[in-house]
């Protein structure tokens, strides 16, 4: 570390938990962020300011005006040009700490590219918006022995939990199955920027502590920024019967799940990743404030220009208006729920 490094990080060097040795570990560290929305953009900025030397940002989406309320790193120019989030994040980080190495990957994390995107990470931070990607991330990290920090937020509520393979329960221990039925999402129930920032701040602290000490604060922490309630419950130990960390069955890495299919010549993508039924009437009620909804017992059609989503009771969705599977999956996560 040179003199400007000592100056830049002086308040962190004074902190007993970090000091010069810890700061050097941060400068040498390699961290991957999966998803660069509300959680990921806060994580990226905080890690960059703290001097984490190698940051890879993976995101499949682009910046929109409605992101700016909570996605700390982006500005009106990014939204006006619909910049890919990973690229916009890298550009903004260069302005606040030009000494780091940032790698922007415009990609949807899948079984096929997980190795390429996650290999060599010291720790991975979750900034995703759906259970499927988290199961995939969990399978990869448990198999590779890489810790990752789960985080999620909706409304004024947030949750975070570290997964340290071999030491703590993993994501599949705690959530053996995705929640059934349509779930509230940030697009249907809204989300406060203070809730996502708080969750992301806890994730960043856990990552920094892991990097400097090889320990992470364990426990499942839930927060509600509207009521002011913060709770922490003990995290169970690894479950011997767990599919992932117990039986080491890494289903999500083996692409046994159905993948999105571009529908030839139709400017549409079919998504059928889940095998759970959807209550169309309930979904219609949630989507009605957001666009035009037509619904009968066979299908629900939801129009949010330029896209048209057709949802079938078995959970299958056809997204018209794109041939890009990443865009279709993003719309699916937004409106149907993870
Ligand atoms: Zn497990």
**317-338 pLDDT, tens per residue?**
889 899 888 899 889 988 987 5
Q: What is the pLDDT of residue 270?
A: 77
Is the separation of the CB atoms in 206 and 216 below 8 Å? yes
Got the DSSP string for 73-108? T--HHHHHTT-BHHHHHHHHHHHH-TTSEEEEEE--
pTM of the model: 0.81
In angstroms, what is the span from residue 26 Cα to ligand 1's centroid?
28
DSSP tag of 169: -
In angstroms, what is the span from residue 171 Cα to ligand 1's centroid?
6
Residues of the chain with pLDDT under 70: 182, 187, 256-266, 273-276, 338
Q: What is the pLDDT of residue 337?
A: 78
In angstroms, what is the span from residue 135 Cα to ligand 1's centroid?
11
In angstroms, what is the span from residue 108 Cα to ligand 1's centroid?
24
In angstroms, what is the span from residue 48 Cα to ligand 1's centroid?
31
Q: What is the pLDDT of residue 318?
A: 84
In angstroms, what is the span from residue 126 Cα to ligand 1's centroid?
17
Q: What is the pLDDT of residue 38?
A: 95
In angstroms, what is the span from residue 138 Cα to ligand 1's centroid?
9
Specify the residue for token string 């509230």: 184
Q: What is the pLDDT of residue 256?
A: 55
Q: What is the pLDDT of residue 184?
A: 76
- φ, ψ (nearest 5 deg) of residue 60: -105, 0
Enumerate residues 6+ apart whose C-beta is below 8 A from 53.
26, 27, 28, 29, 30, 100, 101
Q: What is the pLDDT of residue 263?
A: 58
Torsion of CA 166, 171, 173, 177, to 10 degrees: -150
In angstroms, what is the span from residue 299 Cα to ligand 1's centroid?
36
Residue-wise pLDDT for 192-250, tens only, equals: 999 999 999 999 999 999 999 999 999 999 999 999 999 999 999 999 999 999 999 99
* Residue in 186, 245, 264, 295 annotated catalytic: 186
The mean pLDDT value of the chain amounts to 90
The Cα 51–Cα 55 span in angstroms is: 10
- Per-residue CA distances from 273 to 87, 133, 320, 333 (Å): 28, 11, 17, 11
186 noted as active-site residue: yes
């Amino acid at each position: 570390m040179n003199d400007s490094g000592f100056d830049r990080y002086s308040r962190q060097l004074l902190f007993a938990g970090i000091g010069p040795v810890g700061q050097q570990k941060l400068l040498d560290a390699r961290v991957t962020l999966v998803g660069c929305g509300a959680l990921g953009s806060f994580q990226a900025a905080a890690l960059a300011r703290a001097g984490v030397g190698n940051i890879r940002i993976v995101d499949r989406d682009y910046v929109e005006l409605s992101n700016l309320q909570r996605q700390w790193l982006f500005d009106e120019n990014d939204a006006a040009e619909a910049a890919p989030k990973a690229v916009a994040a890298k550009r903004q980080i260069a302005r606040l700490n030009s000494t780091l190495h940032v790698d922007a990957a415009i990609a949807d994390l899948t079984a096929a590219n997980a190795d390429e995107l996650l290999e060599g990470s010291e720790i991975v931070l979750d900034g995703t918006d759906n259970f499927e990607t988290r199961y995939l991330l969990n399978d990869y990290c448990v198999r590779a022995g890489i810790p990752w920090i789960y985080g999620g937020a909706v409304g004024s509520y947030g949750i975070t939990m570290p997964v340290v393979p071999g030491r703590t329960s993993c994501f599949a221990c705690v959530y053996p199955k995705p929640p059934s039925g349509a779930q509230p999402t940030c697009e249907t129930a809204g989300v406060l920027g203070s809730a996502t920032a708080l969750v992301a701040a806890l994730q960043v602290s856990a990552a920094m502590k892991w990097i400097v000490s090889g320990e992470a604060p364990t426990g499942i922490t839930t927060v509600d920024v509207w009521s002011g309630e913060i709770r922490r419950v003990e995290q169970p130990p690894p479950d011997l019967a767990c599919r992932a960390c117990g039986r080491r069955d890494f289903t999500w890495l083996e692409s046994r799940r159905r993948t999105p299919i571009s529908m030839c010549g139709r400017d549409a993508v079919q998504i059928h990743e889940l095998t759970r039924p959807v209550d169309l009437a309930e979904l219609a009620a949630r989507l009605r404030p957001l666009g035009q909804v037509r619904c009968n017992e066979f299908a629900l059609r939801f129009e949010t220009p330029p896209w048209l989503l057709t949802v079938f009771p078995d959970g299958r969705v056809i997204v018209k208006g794109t041939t890009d599977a990443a865009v279709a999956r993003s719309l699916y996560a937004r409106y149907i729920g993870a």
